[in-house]
Amino acid sequence: MHKEYYVCIMTNKSRTLYTGVTNDLMRGVDEHKNKLLPGFTSRYNIQYLVYYESTPGIHVALAREKQIKGWLRAKKIALIDSMNPAWKDLAEEWFIE
């Protein structure tokens, strides 16, 4: 049995992009929204989930993350636009503020 992993792209108001992997999309997004993890996402206020995809395992997810991270910014933007042209926060309704 494979555990599901997610590759996600998150951003901030100025559209700085962050690509990451998690096995719990809701928890991962919550950690970034609430700055529970030190580093890049806290420093740049990365808090909007604009793209994600499900993969059947950690190795597939890590390979996909590496692939996306290697892309030029324009290709990442095209990927986000293909699923979420308005760049809406896909996790907006997951959490009650």
d(CA 6, CA 52): 7
**Residue carrying structure tokens 């997004």:** 29
pLDDT tens-digit series, residues 13-34: 999 999 999 999 999 999 999 9
The pTM of this model reads 0.93
Nearest-angstrom CA–CA distance, 39 and 70: 20
Q: Which tens digit of pLDDT belongs to each residue from 50-74?
A: 999 999 999 999 999 999 999 999 9
The CATH superfamily assigned to 5-83 is GIY-YIG endonuclease (3.40.1440.10)
In the chain, the amino acid numbered 47 is Q
Instruction: State the pLDDT confidence band at 10, using cuts at 50, 70 and 90.
Output: very high
The full set of domain ranges for the chain reads 5-83
